[in-house]
Amino acid sequence: MVGNTIRGLVNKGHKVSLVSLNDQKQNGKIVATDPLLEKINYRSYQIDTSISLLYATINLVTKQSANINRYYDGAFERLLIAEVRNTDYDIIQFEGLFVAPYLEAIHRNSKAKLIYRAHNIEHQVWERLAAQKHDPIKRFFIKLIARRIKNYELHNLNSFDAIAAFTQQDKKTMEDYGSKAKIEVIPVGIDMEHYKPEPEKTEFPSLFFLGSLNWMPNREGIEWFLENFHADLSNGTIRARFYVAGNDIPEQFDEYDVMDKIFIQGEVDDALEFVNSKAIMIVPLLSGGGMRVKIVEGMAMQKCIISTTLGAEGINYHNGENILIADTREEFFNAIQRCIADEEFCKTIGLNARRMIEREHDINALTTRLVMFYKQVLGKKVD
């Protein structure tokens, strides 16, 4: 996502710097071998975001959010201060809420306009997670996390010069919460040149899920799907193999593995190659927010996607035309069976999805909109 934004800006002749805060538990979106890094000023800093039991316990009696504070590192802040003092930037863009702890330091040391790229409404993710929990203790603690993140999120809404949101829903939510900053809706953009479907290499029928289980909504969703469809997949009621891939898949997920039926693959070497090789993408999100990049990428790869309404939030889809929406076990079951029974229908959904992404998510067109937005924030004349 960040990489595509940078590619778009570089392709249009803009000078870009990326100072990346990398969670040691996750793989970076831009790897050290990416040729893009040779075209920009790139610096990265590793941080351990794990929370000790002692810190979590102490945090319970404070009003601060441990989920936000764990991304603060004094050495990284000093690196940022040196960077913005040494370079006269026009725009400094904060990617997501978790880098907001460095906002004040940047504001003190740079005259650049500060843009918040809102990936979602973060506290809504946690509120929706809490709503899914039946255990009252877990629900209480997740609600507490949500409340503290909400306080932090709303406190910072008017701290930026402008906000670039992924979805119209997120823009309206921020305005309803009292944001006075200029907010522009600029969806996820992708470089279509990197997404080249090869249908002849696709296993049909086959189902797949791709996503990091370090993100709680992903884990919650795939656990729900596996628990609801494990028997159908195992006994052949659903006549298709199911592949689960992504980062940080816990060892206990191996228990879901069934020989020649369900494959818990874990991390794959080439995500696009994996997506290309499978037919039907399952997105069973029950919580979360913002725009799902994996759906946009799946559509770009011409996949037939079955998603919950929440999973497809923010995407200009048409149910039954370029995606299939399912919010219950029965709806998922019926959608899966229809796709398995009709390969041509499946292919048509995928083709329509690809065309929609070409129209609405091409990085070149969206970069033009982003640059116009930057110029407006800077008070420059827009051509």
Any bridge partners for residue 50, and if so which? none
Same domain, 185 and 204: no
Same domain, 354 and 249: yes
Closest to 221 (Cα-Cα) out of 286, 288, 282: 286
- Per-residue model confidence as pLDDT tens digits over 183-221: 999 999 999 988 999 999 999 999 999 999 988 899 999
What CATH number is associated with residue 148? Answer: 3.40.50.2000
- Looking at the structure of the chain, the number of domains it has is 2
Residue 184 in 3-state DSSP? strand
Residue 203 in 3-state DSSP? coil
Same domain, 229 and 216: yes
* Domain ranges, residue 369: 2-189+362-378
Same domain, 319 and 232: yes
Name the stretches of the chain with pLDDT < 70.
Answer: 24-33, 51-64, 290-291, 382-383
Same domain, 17 and 121: yes
pLDDT at 36: 86
Exposure b/e, 231-248, CB count within 10 A at least 16 = b: ebbeeeebebbbbbbbbb
Instruction: Decide if 383 is inside a domain.
Output: no
* Cα 58 to Cα 309: distance, rounded to the nearest angstrom: 38
Same domain, 125 and 246: no
Same domain, 129 and 270: no
6, 36 Cβ separation under 8 angstroms: yes
Eight-class DSSP state of 287: S
Same domain, 352 and 341: yes
Same domain, 110 and 152: yes
Same domain, 97 and 152: yes
The kind and range of the H/E element at 365 are helix 363-378
Instruction: Decide if 267 is inside a domain.
Output: yes
- Per-residue model confidence as pLDDT tens digits over 302-316: 999 999 999 998 899
Same domain, 235 and 157: no
Instruction: Decide if 216 is inside a domain.
Output: yes
Same domain, 64 and 180: yes
